[in-house]
């Protein structure tokens, strides 16, 4: 009996020795085999410093592991140590427990070029071995007749619940990790350095698993993630903290859609989300988003930026389309809009010159088509912004479409709004500081979802008109040297129909001399018009109503106001008498080219004109006789025929004014017709000479009559013939017209 026990003891000891030896020798054998056959196993060369297993402490470790790129020298994935420690005591209660899992100094370098990654060949290696390998989050089983889609998350949950034992892993740690992502297509290089992962416990049972991840970006900023997850129930709670992330790292990706030189700034995010993995869209999120010191530099060297944007999210739920925003706070924003003849600064910023045309078309082809139900599903959004604040913001408008260019900066822009809901009327108040002490205020009532209707009041005060001199030179030829403008506007837009009442008042508006060679769009006698429009205190006031439809391509709010102002200027310049003298005093009167004198009514109107010299001291009055002899020659010849017939009938040679009137108004009877057949019409040269002589006689008589009026002198009154340019296109009309010249 003793001999048998001794033999059994020796056998057991030998077996234990063999097991122990195997535990220490087998890892060495495994190391050699893996390194020698690594290309057969994964298609790449692997290198392992050491593999060890301690049967007494139940630990397993791999030291100094490296998986190389196809060149067998560049590291793809590596780590300093992979360590696992099992707890054998759990086996007595029917569970599997790992008391510690650690990866020390992991390293990975991912390279992307289009759709190809630097690990694509590894995937292809495994696919060649087994074409049924499943990838992604969903498994798709297809047959000739139908396809069944199985959600991996649901599948895992089912398997976990079906396990007859519990699985737990404690103290999962990743230390001093380094990951490099290189996108060769857009020349991007993002490095996450010295990142760590800490998971106290992972339970494949009805217990919560907590995990923490901390990442440091080489370009600046850090990312921290803390999560609780119940693998059996599927409940999760995640807190994500992105701190001072340098947005310049995403510049290569923005260059696919924006054309710019540089981008800087930071983004910080603190979000908390909870829900269940079985319905992620039903999860609820809340937190804050902070954007600081963002500056986008355009290719022109100009910049768009914002000092601070703060967003407080009270609730976000995608399934319910419910978004409650506590606040949006924008501080220190600066922007500009540059207008060119064939483009503008926004178009240039958005223009990538076809860099992504091929890529975009590929994406469009690969994008999954939406079902008809999803395409037609109405978006019922429940959104509320409790508080909106914009402060210390400025905007510059640059118009390069006019000679010399125009630039105008509005600063101190402030926007205040509260309780802005998607489908409810909201009040928005905007204020701004204009150059040289001006100000602007806008108050509006609008429903965000209804873009067809709006109510807005605008008040602009103390606008320095000299700032808009370039526009005045472009449209009228005259520069603006002084003046201040006030503008008030009440606007109602109802289903795109605009009803706008605008009141404009201008004080002490002064224009300079028109430069030689000016070629304005409108021929407006600005000096005359302004001099006439100003009251005794130098003020101009008028109303401009605007009506139209915003969908009409011909409708332009600004164009209507400007055209109204120009029409008023032209009207004033062409009809100064009514505005200066009031009442119905006309600025012109017609005359008969045959007459060598005036009626009492004509004398009365001309005499009324001289009162302008008293109303506007220092002004000068010019009376123009406007007629075209060549166009009046036939009418004059007809008058001469009637006078000749009257003389023949009456035997008179010298006609009195009564005779002249009777001659010109006589009926053209049979005797007149017979006389006209024998009448010898004078030559055109003779008739024109007679016309001109009568015109000189009329001017002389009118000058004499007007010179006798109070306040009239030889220096402030002229009566003359109109030049061909002044006559313009008047047809057969003959008239006298008044003109007022400024001092």
| Residues 609-626 pLDDT 10s | 898 888 878 888 899 999
The alpha carbon of residue 704 and the mean position of all alpha carbons in its chain are separated, in whole angstroms, by: 66
What integer pLDDT is reported at residue 149 of this predicted model? Answer: 40
More confident residue, 323 or 379: 323
DSSP-derived letter for residue 568 is H
Count other C-beta atoms under 10 Å from residue 92's C-beta: 7
| Eight-class DSSP state of 137 | S
pLDDT of residue 521: 76
Architecture label for domain 588-634+683-741: 2-Layer Sandwich (3.30)
Give me 699's structure tokens: 């001017």
Evaluate if residue 733 carries a pLDDT over 80. Answer: no
Placement of tokens 């039903």 in the chain: 282
Domain boundaries, the chain: 421-573, 588-634+683-741
Q: Is 520 helix (H, G, I), strand (E, B) or coil?
A: coil
Q: Is the pLDDT of residue 127 over 70?
A: yes
The CA–CA distances, whole Å, from 622 to 558, 714, 720 equal 36, 11, 8
Q: What is the pLDDT of residues 662-712, one digit of tens each?
A: 888 888 888 888 888 888 898 988 988 988 899 999 999 999 999 999 989
Are 284 and 260 in contact by the 8 Å Cβ rule? The answer is no
Cβ atoms of 432 and 443 within 8 Å: the answer is: no
Supply angle C-alpha 266, 313, 245, rounded to 5. Answer: 15
Provide the pLDDT for residue 334. 94
pLDDT band of residue 743 (cuts 50, 70, 90) is low
Name the CA dihedral angle for 50, 56, 57, 59, rounded to a multiple of 10 degrees. Answer: 30
Residue 207 has pLDDT above 70, yes or no: no
Check residues 517 and 588 and name the one with the higher pLDDT: 588
Q: Predicted confidence band at 325 (pLDDT cuts at 50, 70, 90)? A: very high
| Structure tokens, 681 | 């019409």
Do residues 644 and 671 touch, judged by C-beta distance below 8 A?
no
- 151-177 confidence digits (pLDDT tens): 444 554 454 444 555 567 777 788 888
Please give the helix or strand (H or E) that residue 458 lies within, else none: strand 454-464
Q: 3-class DSSP state for residue 596? A: coil
**Is the separation of the CB atoms in 404 and 473 below 8 Å?**
yes
**Which has more pLDDT, 28 or 400?**
400
**Under a CB-based contact definition with an 8 Å cutoff, are residues 237 and 273 in contact?**
yes
Q: Which of 259, 261, 263, 257 is nearest to 294 (CA)?
A: 263
What's residue 205's pLDDT? 57
Q: Does the structure show a pLDDT above 70 at 111?
A: yes
Q: What is the 3-state secondary structure (H, E, C) of 4-73?
A: HHHHHHHHHHHHHHHHHHHHHHHHHHHHHHHHHCHHHHCCCCEEEEEEEEECCCCEEEEEEEEEECCCCC
Cα–Cα dist 517/534, whole Å? 28
* Cβ contacts of 310 within 8 Å, gap of 6 or more: 288, 289, 290, 291, 327, 328, 329
CA distance 25 to 465: 94
Question: Which has more confidence, 536 or 414?
Answer: 414
Name residues whose C-beta falls within 8 Å of residue 402's C-beta, 6 or more positions apart in sequence. Answer: 470, 471, 474
Task: Give the model's pLDDT for residue 370.
Answer: 46
Can you tell me the mean pLDDT for 528-539? 75
Q: In this structure, what is the dihedral angle of CA atoms 154, 158, 161, 164, given to the nearest 10 degrees?
A: -150
Do residues 607 and 706 touch, judged by C-beta distance below 8 A? yes
| Both tokens assigned to 595 | 């007459």
Looking at residue 144, its pLDDT comes to: 39
Q: What is the pLDDT of residues 362-421, one digit of tens each?
A: 444 444 454 444 455 555 678 899 999 999 999 999 999 888 899 999 999 999 999 898
The Cα angle at residue 154 between residues 151 and 157, in degrees rounded to 5: 150
Which tops the pLDDT comparison, 435 or 355?
A: 435
Helix (H), strand (E) at residue 92 = none
What are the DSSP E strand ranges found in 247-321? 262-276, 284-297, 303-317
Q: CA–CA separation, 213 vs 241, rounded Å?
A: 10
pLDDT at position 387 is 94
Per-residue confidence (pLDDT) for residue 9, from 0 to 100 = 57
Q: E strand or H helix at 127, and its extent?
A: helix 120-129
Span 542-581, pLDDT tens digits: 787 888 887 777 666 666 766 677 666 666 655 666 666 7
Three-class SS state of 550? coil
Q: What's the pLDDT at 595?
A: 82
Report the phi/psi class of residue 15: left, alpha or beta, with left for phi > 0 and alpha for psi in -120 to 50: alpha
Give the 3-state secondary structure of 206-264.
Answer: CCEEEEEEEEEECCCCEEEEEEEEECCCCEEEEEEEEEEEEHHHHHHHHCCCCCCCEEE
d(CA 31, CA 48): 7
Mean pLDDT across the chain, nearest whole number? 80
58 has which bridge partners?
A: none
Q: What is the pLDDT of residue 126?
A: 79
* CA neighbor of 446 nearest in space, from 471, 468, 467, 421: 421
- Per-residue pLDDT, 295: 93
pLDDT, tens digit (0-9, with 9 covering 90-100), for 448-494: 888 788 899 999 999 999 999 998 888 888 899 999 999 999 989 88
| Distant-in-sequence, close-in-space partners of 516: CB < 8 Å, separation ≥ 6 | none
């030998």: which residue's tokens?
A: 14
Q: What distance in Å separates the CA atoms of residue 42 and residue 64, rounded to the nearest whole number?
A: 18
Share of the chain above pLDDT 70, in %: 80
Residue 4 has pLDDT above 60, yes or no: no
b/e 200-231 (16+ beta carbons within 10 angstroms → b): eebbbbeebbebbbbbbbbeebbbbebbebbb
Q: Is the pLDDT of residue 139 over 60?
A: no
Buried b (16+ CB within 10 A) or exposed e, 698-724: bbeebbebbeebeebeeebbebeebee
Q: What is the pLDDT of residue 583?
A: 61
**pTM beyond cutoff 0.85:** no
pLDDT band at 308 (very low <50, low <70, confident <90, very high): very high
pLDDT at 726: 76
pLDDT > 90 fraction of the chain, expressed in percent and rounded: 24
Task: Compute, in degrees rounded to 10, the torsion defined by CA atoms 342, 344, 350, 352.
Answer: 40
Radius of gyration (C-alpha) of the chain in whole angstroms: 46
pLDDT score, position 573: 59
Q: For the purposes of burial, counting CB atoms within 10 Å of the CB of 367, is it exposed (0-12), middle (13-18) or buried (19 or more)?
A: exposed
């Amino acid at each position: 009996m003793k001999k048998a026990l001794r033999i059994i003891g020796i056998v057991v000891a030998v077996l234990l020795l063999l097991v122990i030896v195997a535990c220490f020798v087998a890892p060495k054998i495994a190391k050699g085999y893996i390194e020698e056959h690594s290309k057969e196993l994964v298609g790449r060369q692997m290198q392992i410093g050491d593999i060890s297993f301690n049967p007494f402490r139940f630990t397993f470790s791999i030291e100094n592991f490296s998986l190389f790129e196809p060149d067998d020298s560049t590291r793809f994935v590596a780590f300093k140590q992979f360590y696992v420690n099992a707890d054998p005591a759990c086996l007595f209660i029917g569970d599997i427990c790992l008391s510690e899992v650690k990866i020390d100094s992991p390293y990975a370098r991912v390279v992307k070029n289009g759709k190809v990654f630097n690990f694509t060949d590894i995937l292809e290696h495994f696919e060649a071995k087994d074409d049924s390998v499943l990838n992604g989050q969903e498994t798709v089983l297809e047959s000739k007749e139908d396809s069944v889609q199985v959600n991996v998350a649901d599948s895992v949950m089912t398997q976990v619940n079906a396990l007859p034992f519990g699985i737990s892993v404690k103290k999962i740690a990743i230390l001093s990790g380094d990951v490099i992502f290189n996108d060769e297509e857009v020349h991007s290089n993002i490095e996450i350095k010295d990142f760590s992962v800490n998971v106290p416990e992972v339970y494949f049972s009805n217990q919560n698993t907590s995990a923490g991840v901390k990442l440091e970006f080489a370009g600046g900023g850090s990312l921290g993630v803390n999560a609780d997850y119940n693998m059996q129930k599927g409940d999760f709670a995640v807190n994500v903290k992105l701190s001072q992330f340098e947005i310049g790292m995403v510049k290569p990706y923005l260059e696919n859609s924006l054309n710019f030189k540089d981008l800087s700034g930071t983004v910080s995010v603190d979000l908390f989300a909870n829900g269940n993995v079985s319905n992620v869209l039903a999860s609820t999120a809340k937190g804050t988003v902070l954007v600081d010191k963002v500056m986008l530099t355009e290719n022109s060297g100009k910049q768009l930026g914002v000092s601070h944007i703060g967003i407080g999210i009270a609730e976000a739920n995608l399934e319910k389309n419910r978004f409650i925003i506590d606040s949006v706070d924008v501080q220190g924003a600066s922007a500009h809009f540059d207008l060119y003849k064939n483009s503008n600064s926004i178009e240039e910023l958005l223009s990538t010159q076809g860099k992504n045309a091929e890529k975009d078309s590929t994406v469009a082809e690969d994008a999954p088509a939406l079902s008809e139900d999803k395409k037609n599903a109405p978006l019922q959004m429940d959104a509320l912004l409790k508080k909106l604040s914009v402060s210390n913001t400025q905007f510059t408008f640059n118009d390069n479409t006019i000679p010399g260019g125009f630039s105008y900066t509005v600063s101190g822009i402030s926007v205040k709004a509260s309780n802005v809901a998607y489908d409810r009327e909201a009040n928005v108040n905007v204020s701004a500081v204009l150059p040289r002490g001006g100000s602007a205020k806008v108050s509006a009532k609008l429903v965000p979802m209804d873009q067809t209707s709006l109510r807005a009041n605008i008040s602009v005060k103390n606008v320095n008109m000299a700032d808009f001199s370039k526009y005045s030179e472009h449209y009228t030829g005259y520069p603006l040297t002084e003046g201040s403008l006030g503008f008030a506007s009440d606007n109602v837009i109802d289903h795109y129909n605009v009803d706008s009442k605008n009141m404009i008042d201008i004080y002490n508006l002064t224009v300079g001399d028109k430069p030689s060679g000016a070629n304005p769009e409108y021929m407006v006698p600005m000096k005359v018009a302004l001099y006439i429009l100003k009251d005794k205190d130098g003020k101009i006031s008028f109303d401009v109503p605007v009506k139209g439809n915003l969908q009409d391509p011909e409708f332009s709010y600004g164009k209507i106001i400007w055209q109204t102002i120009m029409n008023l200027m032209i009207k004033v310049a062409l009809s100064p008498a009514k505005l200066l003298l009031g009442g119905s005093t006309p600025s012109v009167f017609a005359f008969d080219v045959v007459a060598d004198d005036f009626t009492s009514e004509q004398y009365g109107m001309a005499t009324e004109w001289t009162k302008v010299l008293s109303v506007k001291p220092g002004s000068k009055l010019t009376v123009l006789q406007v007629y075209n002899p060549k166009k009046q020659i036939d009418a004059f010849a007809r008058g001469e025929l009637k006078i000749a017939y009257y003389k023949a009938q009456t035997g008179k040679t010298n006609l009195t004014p009564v005779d002249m009137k009777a001659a010109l108004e006589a009926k053209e009877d049979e005797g007149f017709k017979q006389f006209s057949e024998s009448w010898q019409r004078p030559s055109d040269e003779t008739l024109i000479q007679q016309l001109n002589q009568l015109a000189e006689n009329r001017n002389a008589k009118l000058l004499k009559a007007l010179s006798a009026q109070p306040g009239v002198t030889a220096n402030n009154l002229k009566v003359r013939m109109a030049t061909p340019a002044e006559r313009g296109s008047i047809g057969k009309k003959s008239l006298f017209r008044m003109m007022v010249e400024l001092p």
